Amino acid sequence: MNKPALFVYHRSRAVKTSLLFIFIALVCVLFSDIAITTLHPWQEMKRLAGGLLSPDFSDVRNIAHALMQTLAFAFLGVSIGAVFGFVLALVFDYRLVHMSCAVLRSVHELFWALIFLQFFGLHPLTGVLAIAIPFSAICAKVYAEILEEADRSPYNALPSGSGSVSRFFYARLPLVWVHFKTYTQYRLECGLRTSTVLGFIGLPTLGFYLEVFFKQGLYSQAAALLFTFYILIASIRWWLRPRLILVYLIASLYLLLPDAVSIDWSNVKRFFSEDIIPYPVRMAEDSYSAMQGLLTWLHELFWTQAFDGIIQTLVLTQIALVLSGMLALMLFPLITSHFQGYVGQKLGHGFLVILRSTPEYLLAYIFLQLWGPSMLPAVIALMLHNGAIIGHLCGRYANAIVLPNNPAKGLNLFAWEIVPRIYPQFLAFLFYRWEIIFRETAILGMLGIYTLGFYVDSAFEEIRFDRAIVLIAITALINIGIDSLSRRIRRYLRLKTVVQCS
Amino acid sequence: MSLMKSLLFIFFLFAQVNLYARADNPTRDFVFTAIPDQDETKLQERFGKVAAYLEKQLGVNVKYIPVKSYAAAISAFRNNQVQLAWFGGLSGVKARDLVSGSEALAQGIEDQQFETYFIANTATGLQRSETFPEGIRDKVFTFGSKGSTSGRLMPEYYVRKHFKSSPKEVFARVGFSGDHSRTIALVQSGAYEVGAVNFKVWQSEQQQGKIDNKKVSVIWKTPTYPDYQWSVRGDVDNTWGNGFKEKIRLALLAMNDADLLAAFPRSGFIAASNEDYRPIKNVAKEIGLID
Amino acid sequence: MSFSFELNSATLRYKDIDVLSNIDLSINPGEHVALLGKSGAGKSTLLTTLYQQQQTYCALVPQNVALVEALSVYHNVYMGQLNQHNTLTNLLNLLWPQRKPVAEVRQLLKLLELDEVIFKATGELSGGQKQRVAIARAMFQGNQVLLGDEPISALDSVLAEKVMQLLHAQHKTVVLAMHDVDMALCFADRIVGLKNGAIAIDQPAKNLSADDLQFLYLS
C-alpha cells in the first residue's frame, strides 16, 4: 500500500504523543468530579426536547431586537479587531508587538467584558471592546502567519529601490487577500458567538434572553432564539457581501449609539488607580507594611482560590481535549465525500454547523440545568463544540485527498486509508485548539464549576477587583504557557502551522 | 480600501454623536435599579410601575434599568449610572461603603425581621425542625446569588456556625442558583437536594401556587436579621436640587398602592438608616465576604 | 554607471549545501553569457548571487516566474517600474490603472503577443503566457543588465526565438541560464558550463559546437 510517507515518517512520534495525552486524560479522570446529581434528569431533558420541538416565535419584537444587537456588537467588534489586527500584523516581528498580542488574546472575551463592565457599565463600548481587543490580537497573529507563509518570490523579483508601501500593496497583500477575507469571515462567525454570550453578563444580545428563558425553563422561547441564531450563522455567505459591509456598519452604529451615553472617565481612572490595587497595598501606611501585606494577601489568594482553580481547570481541559479529538474523528466522515453522498454530506454539514455554532458557554449552561453541578456538563459542552470544529476542518482536509483506484470500503477505508492520511493534520488542529479549550474551561467556571472562572466571577461579585485581576492574570499566564507548549509539540511532531482554526 | 475609509468615517461619526450626547446632559434622567433576586422575565413588569410612580411623585424623568447580577447593581450605583437602588442587606452595605455620603432611605416593614428558609426536596426525607438541621450535611446544596443576603450570607453564616467548617467541606456539592425563584425550582426538581431561600419570595411563590408542596418543603427558618432597603447616592441634591433626597424618602414611604408593593413584595415601607445594617456588615466581615 | 560581476574563489551555498566551490568568474558590461549545465549544477544559485551583487542594474526573470497571480497582467508588468514612481502614484495605479503606463505596457506586451490579455488575472493564464509576463516585467524595468533563469523553457520554438531576440536586443548585458544548447550557442557570445560544483568550461561561443558541450550533461 502506498501510505503517505509523511505519516510513516512521523508515526511513532504522533502516536506516542497521542497516547501520552490519552494517559494524562485518564489520570485526570481519576481526579475529576463527573456525575449526574439531579434526581430526575430525564424529566427536564424531556421538557427541553419538547421545547426544542415547539419553538415559540410569538415574541418577534424581542427576538428581532436581540438579534440586531447581537449583529451590531459583532460587526463593530470584529471590524475594529480586523483593522487593528491588520496593522499589528505588519509589525508583528517586533518582540513587543507579538508579546502584547499573546497577552491580550490570552484573556477571554467574557473576562474583558467583566472588566469594562466595572467602569463603562452597560455602555456599548463594553461589548464592542470586549470583542475588539482580543480579536485584534488573534487577527494580528493569524494575519502575520498568513503573510509569513505567502510566497515571497514576487516580492523578491521587484526592482531594487521600490518603496516598501508599494512593495507591500503590489507583491504581498494581493497574495494573501483571499485568505484574509476567509479568515475574517470566520472571525465574524466567532464574533457572533461571542456577542451572543456577552448577553449572559447583561448586554442586550441574544444571550441575555437565552439565559433568562433557560433559567425559567421556558424552553420554547429559548428554542426560538436558538433557531434564529443557527439560521443567521448558516446563511452567513448569503448576507455577508463585501459591498454591504459599510451598510451593516452604519446600521450597527445607528443601533448602538442611542445607548452610548457619555462616559464618566473618573470611573475609569478610579478602576485603574484604586480598585485593582491589592487591598493591603491600598490600605497600607508605609511601603514595608504594604509589601508584607501584599505577600500574605497573595499567598492566601493563591492557596485558597487560585491553586484549586488551576488544578480543576487543567484537569477539565485535558479531559475535554482528548474527548474533543475523539469526537472529531467520529464526526468528520459525516461531511466527507469518501463516506457520504451529496445529501448525506449536506446533512452532516448542517449537523456540524449547529454543534459548532452553539457557544460552549450556552451548551454548558443548558447541561448544568439538566444534570446538576459537576464537571460533566462542561466536559460534554467542550467536547461537542470543539469536536465539531475540528471535525469540520478534518472533513474539509479529507475531501481534498485523492484515493488510489480501488479503495477499501467502510471501516477499512476509514482506518487504513483516511485516518492515517489526515492524522498529522488532525493533531495540528487539536493542539492548535488546546489553549482555546483551556480558555473556555476557565470561563465555564462562571457558571458554577470550580474552575478559575468561578473564582474570578466571585471576586467580581464581591466587588474585589484586585483579586479578580490577579486571578485573570494567572489564567492568562497559564494560557500563554499552554500556547507555547503546544507550539513546541507541533514543532516536535513537525506539523505544519494551521491558521484557520484559532 | 473602501472598508478602511468607511471605518474611519464611522469613527468620526461615533465621536461626533458622543460629543453631542455629552452636551445634551442637563435634562438628566433619574435612574434606579434593583437587584435581580427573582424571575428575571418579570423585572421590567415589576419595576416599570414603580418608575412611573416615582416620576409622578418626584416631578423628574425616572428610568428603571434592569441588571443581570447583584454586583452589576452595586457597580451601577457606584459609577453613578443609577442614583437609587433597591438593594439587599449585603449589597446595600457594599454599595454604601463604596459611595461616600450615600444612605439607606427606607426599608420594607418585613425587612426589619427578615428570614432565610432552608428548603429540601422531600425525597431527601429531611423533616421540619426548630433547631438547625444537622441532616443537611453531605447533601447537594444550593445558595441563591453569590451576593445575596438571604440566599448566601446568612445561610452560610449559620452553616459555618454549626459545622465549624466551610460550606464546600460540609456539603457534597455547593451551587449558586442565581436567584431565589431558581433556588426553589431547582430544589423542587431535584437538581439540588437542599437550598437556602428568601422567605418573602417563598411566601409569594406559595401564594401564586408555583410551589409543589409534595416535592419541596421548608425544613428550617433562620433567626431574623435586617435585609432589603432603598439606598440613595449622597450627591443627588446637587443634581436635582436641595431636598431631593428627602422627597425620594417621602415618596417611598408614601407608597401604599397594593399593586406597587406587590412588586417587592412588601406590605409597606418605613424609614431606615445605615446604622440598621451594622449586623449585616459584621457578619459579612466575619465570613470574609468583605475586607 | 559602470559595473561588472566579480567572483573570486567564491563558494556558493543553497539551503546550507555548497553548490559551487571556489569559483572565479567575471562578466563585463556588453557580454551576452549563457550558463549551461544539468539541473542541480548550480545555475540558479549562480544567477541569484549575481543578482544580489548588482541589484540596482539588473532585471531578473526568475525560474518560477514569481508573479502575483491575483493581479492582472498589466499590474504584474507595471511592477517592473515600481521603483520609478512615488508611492501615491503606485497605489493610485493599483486601484485605477493610469492611461500612460497602460499604453507603455500594452506596447511591450504586443511584442510578446500578450496584449489581448492585458487586464486578465495572471492566475488564469497558461504556463507559457505567465513566462512571457515575467519577461515583460523584467524588460519593463529598462535596466542595462538582464538575468534570466531559463526564461524560455515553456515557450514553443518560434516564440522562444522571438523572445531571445528581444532580450538580447534590448539589454546591453545578458546572462541567461539555458537548457537548450543550440539556442544558447545561437544567441550568446560566451558560454559558461557548470559541472560537479565547478566551472567546467568558459569559452567564447563561436569556438564551440553542441557536441563540445555534450560532456556537461553526462554523469
- A169 and C137: CB-CB below 8 Å? no
Provide the pLDDT for residue B26.
Answer: 46
> Is residue B5 pLDDT above 70, yes or no?
no
pLDDT digits (tens, 9 = 90+) for A71-105: 999 999 999 999 999 999 999 999 999 999 999 99
Averaged pLDDT for residues A479-502 = 80
CA distance A389 to chain B (A): 29
Residues of chain C with C-beta less than 8 angstroms from the C-beta of A161: 56, 83
- Smallest CA-to-CA distance from C152 within C34, C20, C14, C57 is with C34
- A374 and B173: CB-CB below 8 Å? yes
Residues of chain B with C-beta less than 8 angstroms from the C-beta of A121: 75-76, 79, 81
Residues of chain A with C-beta less than 8 angstroms from the C-beta of B152: none
Given CB atoms, is B10 within the 8 Å cutoff of chain A?
yes
Given CB atoms, is B6 within the 8 Å cutoff of chain A?
yes
Measured distance between the N- and C-terminal CA atoms of chain A, rounded to whole angstroms: 35
Residue in A83, A119, A253 closest to B14 by CB: A253
Provide the pLDDT for residue B14.
Answer: 53
Residues of chain B with C-beta less than 8 angstroms from the C-beta of A249: 6-7, 10
Residue in A216, A260, A373 closest to B39 by CB: A216
- B67 and A202: CB-CB below 8 Å? yes
pLDDT digits (tens, 9 = 90+) for B216-253: 999 999 999 999 999 999 999 999 999 999 999 999 99
Using an 8 Å Cβ cutoff, are C8 and C24 in contact?
yes
Residue A158 lies in a domain: yes
Using an 8 Å Cβ cutoff, are A472 and A455 in contact?
no
Residue A495 lies in a domain: no
Given CB atoms, is B285 within the 8 Å cutoff of chain A?
no
Provide the pLDDT for residue B24.
Answer: 45
| Mean pLDDT, chain A, whole residue set | 90
- B121 and A39: CB-CB below 8 Å? yes
> Is residue A51 pLDDT above 80, yes or no?
yes
Extract the C-alpha cell encoding A230: 443557527
The CATH number given to whatever domain includes residue B107 is: 3.40.190.10
Residues of chain C with C-beta less than 8 angstroms from the C-beta of A170: 68, 71, 75, 79, 82, 90, 94
Residue B187 lies in a domain: yes
Q: Please indicate, yes or no, whether residues B128 and B201 belong to a single structural domain of this protein.
A: yes
Q: What is the CA radius of gyration of chain C?
A: 18
The CATH number given to whatever domain includes residue A137 is: 1.10.3720.10
CA distance A346 to chain B (A): 33
Cell 574563489 belongs to residue: C9
Provide the pLDDT for residue A498.
Answer: 52
Residue B21 lies in a domain: no
How many A/B residue pairs have CB atoms within 8 Å?
127
Domain of residue A84: give its range.
Answer: 58-275
Residue B10 lies in a domain: no
| Mean pLDDT, chain B, whole residue set | 89
CA distance A246 to chain B (A): 6
From residue B108, give the alpha-carbon distance in Å to each of B75, B91, B113, B265: 23, 16, 10, 9
> Is residue B171 pLDDT above 60, yes or no?
yes
3-state helix, strand, coil in chain A (%, to 5): 80, 0, 20
Cell 475574517 belongs to residue: A184
Averaged pLDDT for residues B176-200 = 92
Distance separating alpha carbons of residues A348 and A340, to the nearest angstrom: 9
Residue A472 lies in a domain: no
Averaged pLDDT for residues B68-76 = 92
Rama region for B117: left / alpha / beta (φ>0; ψ in -120 to 50; rest):
beta
pLDDT digits (tens, 9 = 90+) for A9-23: 455 788 889 999 999
pLDDT digits (tens, 9 = 90+) for A124-151: 999 999 999 999 999 999 999 999 888 8
Domain count within chain A: 1
Q: Please indicate, yes or no, whether residues B239 and B100 belong to a single structural domain of this protein.
A: yes
- A157 and C60: CB-CB below 8 Å? yes
Provide the pLDDT for residue A369.
Answer: 81
Provide the pLDDT for residue B291.
Answer: 83
Distance separating alpha carbons of residues B193 and B208, to the nearest angstrom: 23
Q: Please indicate, yes or no, whether residues B211 and B273 belong to a single structural domain of this protein.
A: no
Residues of chain C with C-beta less than 8 angstroms from the C-beta of A180: none
Q: Please indicate, yes or no, whether residues B78 and B91 belong to a single structural domain of this protein.
A: yes
Q: Which helix (H) or strand (E) holds A362?
A: helix A360-371
pLDDT digits (tens, 9 = 90+) for C173-188: 999 999 889 999 999 9
| Least confident piece of the model among A9-13, A44-48, A245-249, C47-51 | A9-13
Helices and strands in chain C: count of H runs, count of E runs: 8, 8
Using an 8 Å Cβ cutoff, are A112 and A282 in contact?
no
Rama region for B268: left / alpha / beta (φ>0; ψ in -120 to 50; rest):
left
Q: Which of C49, C52, C72, C79 to mutate to test the interface with A (most CBs of A within 10 A)?
A: C79
- C68 and A171: CB-CB below 8 Å? yes
Using an 8 Å Cβ cutoff, are B268 and B109 in contact?
yes
Residue A198 lies in a domain: yes
Domain count within chain B: 2
With contact defined as 3+ CB pairs under 8 Å, the chains touching A are B, C
Helix locations, C122-209, DSSP H: 127-140, 157-170, 181-187
Residue B148 lies in a domain: yes
pLDDT digits (tens, 9 = 90+) for C146-169: 999 999 988 988 999 999 999 999
Distance separating alpha carbons of residues B58 and B201, to the nearest angstrom: 29
Q: Please indicate, yes or no, whether residues B119 and B189 belong to a single structural domain of this protein.
A: yes
Domain of residue C47: give its range.
Answer: 5-217
Provide the pLDDT for residue B46.
Answer: 86
DSSP output for A146-186: HHHHS--HHHHTSPTT--HHHHIIIIIHHHHHHHHHHHHHH
CA distance A147 to chain C (A): 14
Q: Which helix (H) or strand (E) holds A436?
A: helix A419-444
Q: Which of C52, C68, C84, C140 to mutate to test the interface with A (most CBs of A within 10 A)?
A: C68
Distance separating alpha carbons of residues A113 and A203, to the nearest angstrom: 9
> Is residue A115 pLDDT above 90, yes or no?
yes
- C68 and A154: CB-CB below 8 Å? yes
Distance separating alpha carbons of residues A385 and A485, to the nearest angstrom: 23
Q: Please indicate, yes or no, whether residues B211 and B124 belong to a single structural domain of this protein.
A: yes
Residue in B18, B121, B173 closest to A262 by CB: B18
Q: Please indicate, yes or no, whether residues B65 and B104 belong to a single structural domain of this protein.
A: yes
Q: From chain C, which residues contact A within 8 Å (Cβ)?
A: 55-56, 59-60, 62, 64, 66-71, 75, 79-87, 90-91, 94, 134, 137, 141, 143
Using an 8 Å Cβ cutoff, are A155 and A167 in contact?
yes
| Contacts for A438 with CB less than 8 Å, ≥ 6 apart | A313, A314, A317, A478, A479, A482
The CATH number given to whatever domain includes residue C57 is: 3.40.50.300
DSSP-derived pairing of the beta strands B194-198 and B140-143: parallel
Extract the C-alpha cell encoding A433: 485548539
Residues of chain C with C-beta less than 8 angstroms from the C-beta of A169: 90-91, 94
Residues of chain A with C-beta less than 8 angstroms from the C-beta of C80: 159
Domain of residue B179: give its range.
Answer: 115-221
Distance separating alpha carbons of residues A332 and A393, to the nearest angstrom: 8
Residue A212 lies in a domain: yes
Residue A310 lies in a domain: no
Q: Please indicate, yes or no, whether residues B107 and B130 belong to a single structural domain of this protein.
A: no
Provide the pLDDT for residue A499.
Answer: 52
User: Is the four-CA dihedral A12, A14, A15, A17 of positive or negative sign?
Assistant: positive
Using an 8 Å Cβ cutoff, are B184 and B201 in contact?
yes
Given CB atoms, is B240 within the 8 Å cutoff of chain A?
no
Residue where a domain stops, chosen among B221, B240, B269:
B221
Cis ω for the linkage preceding A242 (within 30 of 0)? no
Residue B190: closest C-alpha in chain A: A39
With contact defined as 3+ CB pairs under 8 Å, the chains touching B are A
Residue B142: closest C-alpha in chain A: A373
Q: Please indicate, yes or no, whether residues B93 and B157 belong to a single structural domain of this protein.
A: no
- Model confidence at B43, pLDDT cuts 50, 70, 90, reads confident
Domain count within chain C: 1
Residues of chain A with C-beta less than 8 angstroms from the C-beta of B140: 37, 372-373
What phi and psi values does residue C148 have, to the nearest 5 degrees? Answer: -135, 135
pLDDT digits (tens, 9 = 90+) for B52-61: 999 999 999 9
